[in-house]
Homo-oligomer: A and B are copies of this chain.
Amino acid sequence: MSVGRPPATMTEIAAALGVSSATVSNALSGKGRVSAELSAKIRQAAEELGYVPSHAARALRTGRTGVIGLVLPDISNPLFPQIAQAIEQAAAAAGYGVLIADSRGETAQQTAAIGRLIERGVDGMIVVPRRGSRIGDIGTPVAIIDSPSTPGNTVSSDHWEGGMQMGRHFASLGHDKVLLIAQSRESNVQNDRIGGLKAGLGDDICCETLWVEDLEASQGAGSAFGLADRVADGFTGFAAVYDLLALRALTELQRDGIDVPLQASVSGFDDLVWSSVVIPSITTLRQNLSTIAECAVEALGHAIADSETLSGTSIAGRPNCERVPMMLVARHSTGPASGSVVSASVNARKDSG
């Protein structure tokens, strides 16, 4: 609020009180030996003079900037804002600032982005790796958010178990022919989800996987999934591996005059903004991003601490939250398979949000 005037320094506080700047530092950090009353006086003076610590000076002296980097893959991932928000939140709570770096989809850019962060002197970084890429040892503490299948200092949702929940959801609704829709075979996350879905559906349910990358390779980008034909073939369930695919499926079915959820059920993953807003609203699995962010920041904090005592380069199998559970959000895009009879209780737990 007080505009223009540069913030006071420790030296100024010291001068104002006639003590040494070391004493001020000790009082404010609570580290050295300072009498209670002097300490109180110093704190008060600091308050009155509008003292703001110089992060630059502290960083220079201690070698720690109090800033962590957040490396994100291609921006097109609509889950990114939520991740970024959760990380920023958790980092701020832990006293860190968050510097962003975008890898613009390319692996080379990912490396460059990491380099830029290191040059800026971040204490560590959190990486959401680009699909199919590995983060080598970069001489800086790192925490990775990906899938539990990724080795290393990784925090993640339990995508497999989530898939299983969704598989069971379809099973309980009486579907017996379900199409799994995924984008890329390279993605650990998608593979985990697919595996879980199959496990949840069980052996009695017929399921098949549509890989969109294959489809688009042959038919061109943005081509239709041909779901109406699938419905004609007896498919009643369409479980997509993330919400964008679910939305694509939903609108295609609707366009072709197929009623969702009466004739076909559709589900996604991630609970993106629009999922609750679309009509019918989409049944999906929500990640507990705030927990993941907290875990990632905490794990990174440990890695940073370790990298100081132990020489060498961190990365411990630290986080005990390697598999954060996901939450099924049942909404209106899934319902009993047409022609099947199910207990009413299943549908009762839908919310309207």
Chain A: residues with CB nearer than 8 A to chain B?
Answer: 2-4, 52-57, 59-60, 65-67, 70, 75-78, 80-82, 84-85, 88-89, 92, 97-102, 104, 116, 118-121, 137-139, 221-222, 224, 244, 247-248, 250-252, 254-255, 257, 259-260, 272-274, 276-281, 311-313, 352-353
Contacts and interface: CB of A to CB of B under 8 A. Distances in A.
B353 A222 contact: yes
A121 B81 contact: no
Contacts of A254: 251, 254-255
B139 A4 contact: yes
Contact of A121 (B56, B102, B244, B280): B56
A145 to B, nearest CB: 16
B121 A248 contact: no
Given A4-B313, A60-B60, A311-B4, A82 B75 contact: yes
A116 B66 CA distance: 13
A168 to B, nearest CB: 26
A76 B273 contact: yes
Contacts of A81: 75-78, 80-81, 84
Nearest to A88: B102
Given A100-B100, A247-B277, A277-B247, A84 B84 contact: yes
Chain A to chain B: the 3 pairs with minimum beta-carbon distance, closest first: A56-B59, A254-B254, A3-B139
A221 B88 CA distance: 28
B247 A278 contact: yes
Contacts of A278: 247-248, 251
Contacts of A66: 120
Nearest to A78: B273
A60 B61 CA distance: 10
A224 B92 contact: no
A120 B257 CA distance: 56
A137 B60 CA distance: 30
Residue from the set A59, A76, A81, A247 with the largest chain B CB neighbour count within 10 Å: A81
A352 to B, nearest CB: 6
Contacts of A259: 255
